[in-house]
């Protein structure tokens, strides 16, 4: 685990360096949108932010600020009255709420659907379940989101159309965001569960006279969850940090929208702040899922010992 933690730190450093240089290579700058700004004022801002220095020196100063406690994410270049964390923090809470809701929907519905399909392999329940999963993969969020809005908000009037003012506003975007991971979880569980149900362990359990429910949920399901664990890390980080498409459709002030706006405005510090948050979440979730995988899968435990 210590080795993986060190690799995570090195990965984070590599992501930061690559993101820093890629922003500087891209054409334009954070003050180019202010076309009415006098050139002298523009040059003064460039000197104030240190953008006239060599890029490696800028990177060194930025990394030095991150090594402080608490880390210094700087001020926003486009909104200098706010620090990057003052912008990112509230939006991360919104994206985290939406992402965790979508993840719960994906797991609570996806795992039982996968089990149902595997138990009824080749039958109608299997075909219907896999059709639902295929639909979740094939229909993009920019189609599913407006469709759900039209049916449940505009036609039926059961749920709010958009905005982010209460729990009811979370339902439609959460189901839209959950469609793809729900389908993925169902397919992973169905594939692994089908293999386990045809294996020696299950045949032995059935020969001992155990009920089919006990065979499925006690002897087969834990093994069927093993392929879900490695997928869970990046999926959780992606859901928590927000989906730009879903946030745009439902007018949600989340982190994904903030990242895109920062990129369009060439707000270097804001983009770096969102990259840092996303990267740390991704690395932490991967470390957590590695630990869960070791607990659930004896083969992974022996491989790491």
| CATH number of the domain enclosing 156 | 1.10.3720.10
Q: What is the pLDDT of residue 15?
A: 92
pLDDT digits (tens, 9 = 90+) for 249-298: 888 888 888 888 888 888 999 999 999 988 888 888 888 877 777 776 65
Backbone angles phi, psi at 121, to 5 degrees: -55, 125
Token digits for 158? 């059961």
List all residues 6 or more positions away from 26 whose beta carbon is below 8 Å from its beta carbon: 266
pLDDT given for residue 159 in this prediction: 87
Would 212 be classed as within a structural domain?
yes
Q: 300: how many CB neighbours lie within 10 A of its CB? A: 18
**Alpha-carbon distances of 197 from 118, 129, 216, rounded to whole Å:** 8, 18, 8
Q: Quick one: angle between helices 141-148 and 168-197, nearest 10?
A: 130
Average pLDDT over residues 234-256: 83
Domain-located, residue 260: yes
Residue 108 domain-assigned? yes
For residue 5, tell me if it sits in a domain.
no
State the pLDDT at residue 242: 64
- What is the mean predicted confidence (pLDDT) over 76-81? 88
pLDDT of residue 175: 92
Classify residue 254: in a domain, yes or no.
yes
Percent of the chain at pLDDT exceeding 90: 24
41 is written with which tokens?
A: 């004022």
Higher pLDDT, 26 or 83: 83
Query: Domain for residue 140, yes or no?
Result: yes
Mean pLDDT of 85-94: 91
Predicted local distance difference test score (pLDDT) of residue 182: 92
Q: State how far the Cα of 254 lies from the Cα of 246, in Å rounded to an integer.
A: 10
Print the domain residue range for 98. 84-304
Q: Residue 267: inside a domain, yes or no?
A: yes
Checking if the pLDDT of 84 tops 90, the result is yes
The number of domains in the chain is: 1
In a domain, 72, yes or no: no
């Amino acid at each position: 685990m210590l080795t993986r933690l060190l690799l995570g730190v090195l990965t984070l450093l590599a992501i930061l360096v690559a993101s820093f240089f890629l922003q500087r290579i891209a054409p334009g700058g954070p003050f180019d949108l202010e076309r009415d700004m006098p050139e002298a004022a523009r040059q003064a801002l460039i000197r104030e932010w240190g953008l006239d220095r060599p890029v490696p020196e800028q990177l060194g100063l930025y990394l030095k600020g991150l090594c402080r406690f608490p880390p210094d994410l700087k001020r926003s270049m486009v909104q200098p009255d706010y620090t990057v964390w003052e912008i990112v923090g509230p939006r991360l809470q919104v994206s985290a709420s939406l992402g965790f809701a979508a993840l719960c929907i994906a797991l609570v519905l996806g795992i039982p659907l996968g089990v149902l399909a595997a138990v009824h392999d080749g039958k109608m329940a299997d075909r219907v379940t896999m059709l639902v999963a295929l639909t979740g993969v094939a229909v993009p969020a920019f189609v599913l989101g407006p469709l759900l809005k039209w049916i449940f908000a505009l036609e039926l009037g059961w749920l709010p159309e958009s905005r982010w003012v209460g729990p009811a506003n979370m339902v439609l975007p959460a189901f839209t965001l959950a469609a793809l991971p729900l389908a993925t979880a169902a397919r992973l569980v169905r594939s692994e569960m089908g293999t386990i149900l045809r294996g020696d362990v299950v045949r032995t359990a059935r020969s001992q006279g155990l009920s089919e429910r006990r065979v499925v949920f006690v002897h087969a399901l834990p093994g069927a969850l093993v392929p879900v664990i490695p997928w869970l890390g990046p999926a959780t980080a992606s859901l928590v940090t927000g989906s730009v498409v879903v946030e745009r459709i439902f007018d949600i002030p989340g982190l994904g929208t903030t990242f895109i706006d920062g990129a369009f405005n060439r707000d270097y510090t804001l983009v770096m702040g969102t990259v840092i948050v996303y990267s740390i979440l991704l690395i932490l979730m991967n470390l957590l899922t590695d630990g869960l995988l070791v607990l659930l899968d004896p083969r992974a435990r022996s491989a790491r010992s």
